[in-house]
Amino acid sequence: MREIIFDTETTGLDSRDDRVIELGGVELVNRFPTGRTFHHYINPQGRAIHEEAQAVHGISAADLAGKPTFADIAEEWLTFTDGAKLVAHNATFDIGFLNVEFGRLGHPVVDPGRVVDTLALARRKHPMGPNSLDALCRRYGIDNTKRTKHGALLDSELLAEVYIELIGGKQAALILDSATAPAQGENVRHIEIIVAERPRPLPARLTEAERAAHAAMVATLGEKALWLKANSSEKSVAAS
């Protein structure tokens, strides 16, 4: 199973008017990072960067001078993500921007069935929140000290770790040989554990005096005592 954990940075919040200025992603196969990544800064072609947005990601217009346009990197992104699930935090925002960018180029929109929103996963798993990426890193003990500003590639790398925790933790991904890993939806094969019988029974720990005291106590319970019925059943099973 192949998944791309990705993130975008933009000039603002309105996908109809603002532009993507950074796009990053990391590849997971069977929930393990492969080391393959995608990362580009993107020239917004004259669209100004809102001050509020720049305060979040720290990217200025000067930083983007001479960078490729979205049209320049579109095919590379499509090749990198081909056939994979797309995983993002607050995916509606990122997919909305990508759909508008690809729409300008005549590409079809992203199939919603390919998209996994980790914010929705987090809200179901931790309904009391908070569920920001930073908060989830703290919850799961993931080191995010390098994240002084938002960045598409760094955020994708952090989100990959968070995503694995959200879907069940690292234990769910301990299938080291991807060739033998079960496909999505298959049942994991259970290993039968056979415990050998003892060559001889353990010696009894009850003394004869303790046995006699117990028998005397049972005799006082009456003929309808549950103990007598249980004891009778055990003898019947042993005899058969």
Active site residues: 150
Angle, CA 27 vertex, CA 78 and CA 131 arms, to 5°: 105
Contact between 24 and 37 (Cβ < 8 Å): yes
DSSP 148: S
Residue 237 corresponds to which amino acid?
V
- In the sheet that holds 32-41, the strands lie side by side as 32-41, 20-29, 2-10, 85-88, 115-117
Cis peptide bond N-terminal to 130, omega within 30: yes
C-alpha distance from residue 90 to each of 8, 80, 117, 121, 228 (Å)? 11, 21, 6, 10, 65
CA–CA separation, 133 and 29 (whole Å): 22
The full length of the chain comes to: 240
Place of tokens 């993130």: 7
- Crossing angle of helices 91-104 and 118-125, rounded to 10°: 170
- Crossing angle of helices 118-125 and 152-166, rounded to 10°: 40
